[in-house]
Chains A and B, each alone.
Chain A
């Protein structure tokens, strides 16, 4: 970890509870509504809280309202009604204080046409009141594999590089809350991994993370809590592991044999199905029955050639809730 001397902010309107850490939720949203134009409801009576230091995932299909919610937090979209507060500061009344605390990577790709990456990041630091931030900028550029492009005009970068530049911009002032709206869209696999590493590092240092992604594996691995929304309504809001347990804790063991076993009564305690062509047996069992299922499989007295285990993934939960299963 690189130690950097960064001038921290002096907030003008410091609510007492901001000093006495932990008295408020990092993000509190109550009965939030957003109506675009006169009649299109993008968010409907949203209630949610994000705790300090967690990685919070906001999932949902296209048009669910994820970006709308994020854009309300950072001032790009006006709320229609409801309460939103960030670290005790109200949106939009105390928007300047809110904006100092958050760093946001918007979903829309955008890049400056006049300045190099290095300059863009220096300006970005200045906007947040930081005068000399070269060391941290270098650290971010290296972490996001942009260092050798630092003198390139931002607009001339490839799509994935632009996205990474936007991530660097959002991080430049070491925000308390980092909001990432599909930060990995268009970023290659290798760099996606290092991007999430960086996010996890920042999280360990105390940054609260709010993210959206369409990659459910990513979300399952990284998020502490997940909120699934669809058509502006919250369908589920829970710890990731609880969400995964929702469909029951059943797993499927698939065994492939050279010769199909005949004494199938040995596994009668479990539900199973046969596939004679593949010479395979699929046995469903729940998590705590592992040793029992192993024991019974052994007594089939046939050599298993291969073994696959399928667990419920977030994708199944997601499909189940959205109703496309």
Chain B
């Protein structure tokens, strides 16, 4: 960090940005998580211990947390960059005496902040209604950090790659959303038939949700070592990509 104050300022600006519209960026996602909890959770109460030996609601909560964190960390960095493309302020990013590494870190940490707040609020609110075991708290924290950082980084890549809000919407609706929903937020892949189970295995979100479930519940479908390795790998790849994008001036410099 050569320009620590510059980096902290950029981080603070990005944080202030989502805080200034907190209703939309923090509370709306919380409400939608709780709605899912109500819609899917309440009618299926009886199904309880059929899934990994805990109540369905306790099974559902880590999934919903994960959905909120992925959506919001991704949303934060990608929409921040999209908006600054739209207002023209994105070229200012090129002019500032802040290194590519510092820029990536500032955007990532700010977006992680939003994802973590949404995840935390979802958990705390859910705990009023559901009895959730907190099996391995350090692991819960580590998984949350890694998931948020990977999607914050991917959000940077997407925000710079997308030419317009249409392309962004396509990314969100046709790639991110299916990945989250098919990644086992609401069900265990053990309940899927052979073909769908195999298809699900190429979805990285599956491993993330599974790792978080393991951290909460103490048991899951996939080995935690496999899940963690995949999480770390995704972080490395997406960090390299985001850094390269700023460093090379991809799509920003002409």
Contacts and interface: CB of A to CB of B under 8 A. Distances in A.
A231 interface: no
Interface in B90-138: 91-92, 94-99
A76 B91 contact: yes
A78 B249 contact: yes
18 contacts: A12-B2, A76-B94, A76-B95, A96-B99, A99-B97, A104-B95, A110-B89, A110-B92, A112-B87, A112-B89, A113-B83, A114-B21, A115-B13, A115-B20, A126-B8, A126-B12, A129-B5, A155-B87
Nearest to B11: A126
B12 to A, nearest CB: 7
Given A104-B95, A109-B88, 5 more contacts: A96-B97, A110-B92, A113-B87, A126-B12, A127-B3
Nearest to A100: B97
Contacts of B12: 123, 126
A76 B253 contact: yes
A114 B253 contact: no
Contacts of B254: 36, 76-78
Interface in A125-155: 126-131, 155
B45 interface: no
Interface string A23-63: 00000000000001000000000000000000000000000
A74 B92 CA distance: 10
Given A100-B97, A109-B88, A128 B253 contact: no
B8 A75 contact: no
B251 interface: no
Contacts of A123: 9-10, 12-13
B17 interface: yes
Interface string B14-52: 001100110000000000000000000000000000000
Given A12-B2, A77-B253, A114-B17, A127 B88 contact: no
A129 B6 contact: yes
Given A100-B97, A113-B83, A155-B87, A126 B5 contact: yes
A108 interface: yes
B9 A126 contact: yes
Contacts of B98: 96, 127
Interface of A: 12, 36, 74-78, 96-97, 99-100, 104, 106, 108-115, 119, 123, 126-131, 155
Given A96-B97, A106-B91, A75 B253 contact: yes
A127 B6 contact: yes
Interface in B117-175: none
Contacts of A111: 87-89
B77 to A, nearest CB: 15
Interface string B55-94: 0000000000000000000000000000100011101101
Nearest to A173: B97
A72 B254 CA distance: 10
Contacts of B95: 74-76, 99, 104, 106
A65 to B, nearest CB: 13
Contacts of B4: 129
A110 to B, nearest CB: 3
A112 to B, nearest CB: 6
A112 B97 CA distance: 19
A77 to B, nearest CB: 5
Given A99-B95, A99-B96, A127-B98, A110 B88 contact: yes
A91 to B, nearest CB: 12
B3, B10, B16: which has the most chain A beta carbons within 10 Å?
B3
